[in-house]
Structure 1
Amino acid sequence: MDAEKEQLLQQDDSGKWDKGHGAGPGIGGRRGLPPRQRLEGWRGIYQEHEEIVWTVVYTLLSMITRYWRIGAANYVVWDEAHFGKFGTHYINRDFYFDVHPPLGKMLVGLAGVLSGYHGQFEFKSGVTYPDDVPYTAMRVILASFGVALVPLAWFTAGELGWSRYARHWVTICVLCDVGWLCISRFILLDSMLLFFTFTTFLGLVKFHNQRHDAFGDDWWIWLVFTGWSIGCVCSVKWVGMFATAVVGLYTIEDLWNKFGDLSMSARNYLKHWLARILCLIVIPFIVYASCFKIHFMILNRSGPGDAQMSSLFQSHLVGNDFADSPLEVAFGSKLTLKNYGYGGGLLHSHVQTYPAGSAQQQVTCYHYKDDNNNWIITPTWGDSVNPDEVRYLQDGDTIRLVHYMTNRNLHSHPINAPVTKEAYEVSGYGNSSIGDTQDHWVVEIVDDTHRTKSDQADGRIHSLTTRMRFKHANLGCYLRAANSVLPQWGFKQVEVTCARENNKKDVHTYWNVESHWNEQLPKGNVKLYKSPFWRDFSHLNVAMWTSNNALVPDPDKEDILASQPFDWPFLHLGLRMCGWGDNMIKFYLLGTPIIWYFSTICVGLSLVTAGWFLLRMQRHYNDWLPGQWDHFLYVGKYAFFGWFLHYAPFLIMGRVTYLHHYLPTLWFAVLLAGHMLDTYIFSSPRWSDKSKLVWFVLWTVSVVVNFWWFKDLALGIHGPVNDHPGWQWRDTWNIYNR
């Protein structure tokens, strides 16, 4: 009876492959090796609980490396200056603007709350943390996401069906990479981005391994988990879309294969489509949109990012007086004009002049509150208004816009704009007594977002809600701001032009009154203004996209921290994360070289290997047992897609890039390295168990020793850096002072 049970257990283990499960602990790989026999005593207990034992071991080791000396550097390191400040805004509830989605920064704010931080520190780069800022606790909380990478790697490698040796080696690589270690130890978003990248791929692999039990409980759990992870990774940084693309490719292939399965009914096939739409599209979108909803709910006070949002949105922020502005605009009103295009700023002018063209005063769009944003509605030359009477501004009125601070008239003429050559230049010209008809603009109402057509019958301009255009009376062009950025002489502000094309759907020619002052008119009422969430959601996302695309290298300024994508796979450049003084603790972002070099080589080797076996299969060589080739291709294919989709987009991006952008990509390169080691050595029947052990020890010791050699780059370099020899493996690394 016992022998019969043992035989059934062995059949159950060997059948895991056919059912789609990963090998897990205790299974001898993928090349047909027999499962291990059940052991008695403590060895049997260990064998039964091996998964838990190694999960605990690796988690403890990960905690030691991530938390060790984490509070030693008591100053603001690198981008802690940005993300610590964003956390402060959540605690103070001040609205801010940033190019990244809000989830990671909300978690930074939560880490501050849990640590007892009260939001009183400005997080200026290089400044020493005061005693009342619990920076160490905040770093520990955020480093916990980095701690979780190691057990996540252990789970993922197990689900991929590798041998124990390959599984341990990949997990040790994640534990011992200096780059992943370094980036996880500060108040940054990268540890969260990496965490959700790992969970997304784990969810995909777990879901794949449940394909034998479609619509079962575990199948649904891991499909929902994958969708949740997609929503989270995209809500930390938009590069999470690359992980989403990997899941998308898998889903397309999976549904295509099911389409060719004639044994599947049309009803079941439709259910597969609906399940993917619900879990991989709807759930991620709900997670992503919910993060913005919470973001808007928390940040209910006026702050430094107000001007990136619509005037209606700003009117509901505490500390903002827009809603108190007079409802209707009249001649003599002082006001600010906001461009309605996504990412649009406030119409602005300053005393500086154009270096070419008319050489008249510059007119720009500016995203921050400033007295130079104020304009006065003034009659045209030859017209006048009785100061004792209120003359409301209406559709079709011709006006002058006079700059409040310099008294210049908003002006245009047939001179090409400095950046957008196909449009006319807009400038500030003349004064209260000097000017011409080139200062005249015709007001054209587009619509009023909060009034019915009957309410708009009077044709009056309303603050905040009326969208209007300004047509030049002589030239027929339209005042426009389309996010073209002026050079340094224009302070990198947005160019304002007069567009010759009359495109009535061009929102960059739409303007609305934001702030409005007129003592002759009664105050408004906030109840008259509503800002729908979906409009605010869309507006903010487009503004983020526009600002992200504007992060291009500045040819007038050298950025010694920046690097190119071709520099990353073989660690051509590292990154100094702080000042390099002898008396401060220093950090240098660099990967463990042997992990980066070998994993990069394995990216190419995986393609060669797949090509080699395809050629042999075409010649009818039989190298694989049933199901093994499909699994080899599945693992290699999606690890490679993960690497390619995370890396290739940076090759065509115009924005400035840094070494840490490669860190999510590295995960897929490491997976390919593990895949190659498992294919050629650890699961190959050509090697004896002793030889496999020798190879495992050799590769593992190499990784650990290499990590130990470079560990202080992540844990902190104490004293003069030149007192620590042996790190200059490449001449391009600027570790040492020269």
Structure 2
Amino acid sequence: MPIVGEKTSAFEEPGQDPVPELQVKQGPCRPYVVSEPSEKLGSLRTVHEKKERIMVALLAVFTGMVRFYNLSWPNSVIFDEVHFGKFASHYIKNNFFMDVHPPLAKMMFAWIASLVGYQGDFDFETIGELFPATVPYVLMRSLAATAGALTVVMLYFTLRASGVRVWVAVASAICFAVENSYVTISRYILLDAPLMFFISASVYCFKRYELYPTNTCSSLKYLVATGVFLGLAASSKWVGLFTVAWVGVLCLWRLWFFLGDLSKPVCSTFKIVAIKGTILLGIPLVLYTFFFYMHFATLTNDGEGAGFFSPEFRSSLKGNTIPQNVMAEVGTGSVVTIRHTGTMGGYLHSHPHDFPAGSQQQQITLYPHLDANNEWYIMLYDQPNNTVTSFENLPDGTKIRLLHPLTYRRLHSHDHKPPVSENSDWQKEVSCYGFEGFDGDANDDWIIEIDKDESVPGPAQDHVRALETKFRLRHAMMNCYLFSHEVKLPKWGYDQQEVTCAYSGQPSLTLWAVEQSYNEFLPKDTELISYKPSNFWQKLVEYHQKMWHINKNLVDSHVYESLPTSWPFMLRGIGYWSQENRHVYLLGNAILWWSVTGFIFVFALLVAGELLAWQLGKPILQDSYVVNFHVQVIHYLLGYMIHLAPSFLMQRQMFLHHYLPAYYFGILAFGHALDILVTYVLRRQKTVGYIVIGAFVLSCLYFFKSYTPIIYGLPWTKTLCEKSQWLSGWDYACGNYLDTLEQYTSVGLKENVMAQSTAAV
């Protein structure tokens, strides 16, 4: 409602106030807030006017120009294109691979490349590798650019749906359009741009849903759309699950007001909750499962990532090397390969190379590939060399020795520290010891302990059978168990996985199974068995177990990694590409970035002050603009925290781009800060407020323009580069630039690079 004596700004549009008065009614015992929106609210926050539609179109054109500008450069692989471009090639060739992210965004890049006949014949091996003419990399990058441009439009529509005025929403969208970090991620074959579009569409649809009375067609339409986009976001990256959580929190927020609304029956409230829960959880779950079904249906050939998975999983892939028709019974005289079931390391292995320290005996490792050095000959502990004359089963508790036929040495353990885990008192070295003609010693003796819970019910629980029996090997002298973990030996061990004898540790890491078996004493018609290929649901569960396991173990240090505590302050960026005296470097727009961070701190202080004033009995939140400002900002800052907080719990590598989903919610909240400036703080001098906002937009544009060389990989000079490094963590290498722009023409670059470096974007 207009304030008496309020000055009218040239920017204002009469009759278009998107923030109506809060409806409070008096009940029998207390006043209550009407939880349902007014009938006209949806119309007030919808783009109807022709002038506004033209502005949205111009915004889309401007954003498209920013993101599509010179998209073919760099004409070589940058940053994580080495992963996601390669995955697109694997999809096209139907070769299985392993990735820690869900499949949708990767499949989208493969789909668009396949439309123009790309055959997946480029491997995206290294950063800086030139694209051959057969790779439609510009088209693939166009998908990201389109998603990035649409995200800007979504931000505008979202701010309008949450009550921001037209010109403030336009200003906020322009600032977002030139946010350096979002421009950078929207120009390459990366998952971030599609993810951000799906998140932004989810936020917009949910905000639209809030504008309509419950159970209306418009309400149901946007609720279903929210579920769809939540499913698409979660199917692109697990970060989308945080958006699902944010929507869930806002649903609980709204439920609280529904329960306090005396005009709504409690039973109808819980009916609404059931409908919303079914739509907002059911649709994403169905979509998420569907895209994984497409993932498995597409990747039908055995590939480089299959080694991460169980033999049952790999048996479902064409061209797999998993042993088939294996002799079921295992006993004395059997030649076997023994697979470690607790890790992805592979098979118990030895080779004619010794440990450089400790006992200096022959190495024992895990090796992931089929090899003759994986074979072991089984005999009882009291049988000397070559005296096995008949087949005997191996029941639980049997004491055996394992002979390595190629080197004629036996699996052995003793009181020596292991080669890598030498600081672990609970582990001992395992080696291969002996020589031809040597009968062995007591340190070669191992006792079979069958794990009945993990073995297939039936005979496999009574005695060792190939594939079906899971067992442990306990050292008879030291009572430690044959053990392996995801610790690699150094170069002298060929980076193979360490095997030790352990007194403790996770029980799953001491489990083994016989995978290949041959015994000359068994009849020709002996029982043969094979792995049963996993069905879709088994593959889905196992794939997610591997995704989680690999993701949490991405702990190697990286030159551009950063901690979540540094992200709000943008203390450092990420180098994407460096070649030909130019760089692509991920860095945010410091004007907007730091303003968002500053506003979050200011808002926290504001709320603390208001709570104190309320405790002292002073009135607060008396103005409808102030109420809407608080509600919407709290909504968006909840999204900010939900998307940021989990990063503090993760032990894996973290980079600045992991902050971008949270930052998007921060920008939405900051858009409301700009709005409250003209609707409340400077409501009597709104023109001044709009001038302040205009100056802020120009500052963002200036920063963006100043840093375009590291966004687009354009020529720059050492002097300008050094002046741009406001913080020491902004570590793009200025020394790689030439002294003057004119010098770029003399080193064989394109004739138009001077125009590219000076043209306004």
Q: TM-score range by the shorter chain?
A: 0.7 to 0.9
User: What secondary structure is seen at the aligned counterpart in 1 of 2:430?
Assistant: strand
**Partner Cα separation in structure 1 for residue 64 and residue 231 of structure 2:** 27
Counterpart of 1:461 (choices 458, 465, 489) is 465
Residue of structure 1 in register with 2:573 after alignment: 574
Q: Which residue of 1 aligns with 2:340?
A: 339
Give me the whole-angstrom Cα distance separating, in 1, the residues matched to 2:42 and 2:20: 15
Given that 1:415 and 1:425 are in contact with CA atoms closer than 8 Å, whether structure 2 keeps it comes out as: yes
- CA gap of 1:373–1:604, structure 2 versus 1, over 3 A, is farther
Once residues 118 and 707 of structure 1 are traced to their aligned partners in structure 2, the CA distance between those partners, rounded to angstroms, is 37
Q: 1:257 to 1:524 in 2, by over 3 A?
A: farther
Alignment partner of 1:228 is 2:228: yes
Correspondence for 2:161 = 159
Q: Would you say 1:481 and 2:484 are equivalent positions?
A: yes
Asked if 2 retains the 8 angstrom alpha-carbon contact of 1:75 and 1:128, the reply is yes
**Pick aligned residue for 1:538 from 536, 541, 548:** 541
Task: Tell me by how many angstroms 1:185 deviates.
Answer: 0.7
Q: Distance in 2 between matches of 1:169 and 1:525?
A: 72
Comparing 627-636 with 606-615, which one deviates more in the overlay? 627-636
Compared with structure 1, are the counterparts of its residues 291 and 466 closer, same or farther at alpha carbon in structure 2 (3 Å cutoff)? farther
Q: Which of 428, 436, 439 pairs up with 2:441?
A: 436
One-letter amino acid of the counterpart of residue 631, structure 2: Y
> Cα distance 1:284–1:513, how it changes in 2: closer, same or farther (>3 A)?
farther
Q: Which residue of 2 aligns with 1:562?
A: 561
Asked if the contact 2:102/2:235 (under 8 Å) is kept, the reply is yes
C-alpha distance after superposition, 1:582-625 (max 9, x if no partner)? 2xx52111111111111111111111222233334445554644
Compared CA separation, residues 115 and 720, structure 1 to 2 (3 A): farther
Residue-pair matches, total: 701
Report the 3-state secondary structure (helix = DSSP H, G, I; strand = E; otherwise coil) of the residue aligned with 1:425.
Answer: strand
CA distance in 2, matches of 1:73, 1:513: 51
Q: In structure 2, what is the Cα distance between the partners aligned to 1:199 and 1:685?
A: 32
Encode CA deviations 1:244-296: one digit per residue, 9 max, x unaligned. Answer: 33223223333344445555444323323322432233332332233322222
1:588 and 1:22 map into 2 onto residues whose CA distance is 48
Measured after TM superposition, the shift of residue 724 of structure 1 is 5.6
Q: What residue is the counterpart of 1:82 in the other structure?
A: 83
Mapping 1:196-215, distance limit 5 Å: 196-210=198-212, 213-215=213-215
Take 2:206 and 2:490, find their aligned partners in 1: how far apart are those partners?
46
- Residues 667-688 of structure 1, C-alpha deviation per residue, up to 9 Å, x if partnerless? 1221222222222335545332
The 8 Å contact of residues 354 and 360 in structure 1, kept in 2 or not, is answered as yes
Q: Could you say what secondary structure the match of 1:594 adopts?
A: helix
Q: Pick the aligned partner of 2:475 from 472, 484, 496.
A: 472
For the residues of structure 1 that align with 2:647 and 2:101, how far apart are their CA atoms?
A: 17
Contact kept, 8 Å, 1:153 with 1:198, in 2: the verdict is yes
Which consecutive residues of structure 1, in runs of 5 or more, have no partner in the other structure? 1-8, 30-34, 36-45
Whole-Å Cα distance in 2 between the matches of residues 445 and 518 of structure 1?
A: 21
CA distance in structure 2 between the partners assigned to 1:566 and 1:239 by the alignment:
18
Distance in 1 between residues matched to 2:600 and 2:59, nearest whole Å: 26
The match for 1:48 is: 49
Letter in 2 for 1:563: S
Correspondence for 1:41:
none
Describe the shift of the 1:357–1:545 C-alpha distance in structure 2 as closer, same or farther (beyond 3 A). farther
- Give the equivalent residue in structure 1 for 2:754: none
In the TM superposition, what is the alpha-carbon distance from 1:119 to its structure 2 partner?
1.0
Amino acid at match of 2:562: S
Which segment drifts farther, 419-428 or 182-191?
419-428
Cα distance, 1:562–1:131 mapped onto 2, change above 3 Å: same
Q: Which amino acid aligns with 2:471?
A: M
Alignment of 1:655-666 (within 5 A): 655-666=652-663
Task: Tell me the CA shift for residue 11 of structure 1.
Answer: 10
Residue pair 2:397, 2:449 contacting (<8 A) in 1 also: yes
> Partner residue of 2:314?
314
Q: Distance in 1 between matches of 2:163 and 2:281?
A: 28
Aligned partners of 1:678 and 1:684 also within 8 Å? no
Measure, in 2, the Cα distance between the counterparts of 1:268 and 1:473. 68
Identity %: 30
Which residue is 1:97 aligned to? 98
Partner-residue secondary structure (3-state), 1:469: strand
Instruction: Kindly provide the CA deviation profile for residues 26-51 of structure 1, in whole angstroms up to 9, marking residues without a partner as x.
Output: 96x9xxxxx9xxxxxxxxxx972345
Q: Match for 1:174 among 173, 176, 192?
A: 176
Native 8 Å contact 1:199 1:229 kept in 2? yes
Counterpart amino acid of residue 469 in structure 2 = T
Structure 1 position 288 matched with structure 2 position 288: yes
Asked if 2 retains the 8 angstrom alpha-carbon contact of 1:449 and 1:467, the reply is yes
How far, CA to CA, are the matches of 1:654 and 1:271 in structure 2?
41
Distance 1:562 1:502 in 2: 31
Tell me the CA shift for residue 722 of structure 1: 5.6
CA distance in structure 1 between the partners assigned to 2:562 and 2:372 by the alignment: 37
Note if contact 2:325-2:529 (Cα within 8 Å) is conserved in structure 1.
Answer: no
Superposed, 1:325-336 pairs within 5 Å as 325-330=325-330, 331=332, 333-336=334-337
Q: CA deviation at 1:388?
A: 8.0
Residue 47 and residue 248 in structure 1: after superposition, are their counterparts in 2 closer, same or farther (change >3 A)?
closer
Deviations 1:471-520 (A, max 9, x none): 333344333335466678767765444343598xx433333334556787
Local SS of the residue matching 1:587:
strand
Asked whether the equivalents of residues 155 and 202 of structure 1 are also in contact (C-alpha less than 8 Å), the reply is: yes
Identify if the C-alpha distance between structure 1 residues 14 and 300 changes in structure 2 by more than 3 Å, giving closer, same or farther. closer
1:141 and 2:153 matched = no
Cα pair 1:197 1:240 within 8 Å, conserved: yes
Which residue of the partner structure matches residue 675 of structure 1?
672
2:678–2:686 CA contact under 8 A, matched in 1: no
Q: In 2 relative to 1, CA 139–471 (structure 1 residues): closer, same or farther, beyond 3 Å?
A: same
* 1:254-265 equivalent positions in 2, closer than 5 A: 254-261=254-261, 263-265=263-265
Kindly report the root-mean-square deviation, in angstroms, between the aligned alpha carbons of the 2 structures.
Answer: 3.6
Paired position in structure 1 for 2:503: 500
Amino acid at match of 1:300: T
- After TM superposition, give the deviation of residue 165 of structure 1 in Å: 2.9
Give a deviation string over 1:348-390, Cα, whole Å, max 9, x none: 4566665665554554445x42538713232144326777866
Give yes or no for contact 2:159–2:169 (8 Å, CA) kept in 1: yes
Q: Cα 1:257–1:14, aligned 2, differ >3 Å: closer, same or farther?
A: closer
Q: 1:625 to 1:469 in 2, by over 3 A?
A: same
CA distance in 2, matches of 1:693, 1:11: 17
C-alpha separation in 2, matches of 1:425 and 1:121: 46
Distance 1:517 1:639, change over 3 A: farther
Query: Separation in 2 of the partners of 1:518 and 1:74?
Result: 58
Contact residue 324 and residue 523 of structure 1 kept, 8 A: no
Confirm or deny: 8 A CA contact 1:25 1:51 kept in the other structure: no
Q: Which runs of 5+ in 2 are unaligned?
A: 1-13, 24-35, 736-761
8 A contact 1:332–1:518 mirrored in 2: yes
Partners in 1 of 2:505 and 2:698 — Cα distance?
69
- Give SS of 2:501's match: strand
- Contact 1:412–1:426 under 8 Å retained in 2: yes
> d(CA) in 2 for partners of 1:51 and 1:517?
77
Deviation at 1:563, TM superposition (A): 2.2
SS in 2 for 1:701: helix
Kindly indicate whether the alpha-carbon contact (under 8 Å) linking 1:311 and 1:338 is maintained by their aligned counterparts in 2. no
Q: Does the C-alpha gap of structure 1 residues 458 and 491 become closer, same or farther in structure 2, counting only changes over 3 Å?
A: closer
Find the aligned partners of 1:328 and 1:339 in 2 and give their Cα distance.
18
Q: How far is 1:139 from its partner?
A: 1.1
Name the structure 1 match of 2:645. Answer: 648
CA distance in structure 1 between the aligned counterparts of 2:620 and 2:453, rounded to whole angstroms: 71
Distance 1:490 1:682 in 2: 69
What are the residue-to-residue correspondences of 1:58-73 with 2, within 5 Å?
58-73=59-74
Q: TM-score w.r.t. structure 1 length? A: 0.84
1:214-235 Cα deviation digits (max 9, x unpaired): 2333333333333333333233
1:236 partner SS:
coil
Matched residue type, 2:693: F
Please give the alpha-carbon distance, in whole angstroms, between the structure 1 residues aligned to 2:427 and 2:485: 13
Residue in 1 that maps onto 2:240 = 240
Task: After TM superposition, give the deviation of residue 13 of structure 1 in Å.
Answer: 7.0
- Counterpart of 1:4? none
Structure 2 residue 451 is matched with structure 1 residue 446: yes
The residue matched to 2:484 in structure 1 has which SS? strand
2:612 matched residue in structure 1: 615
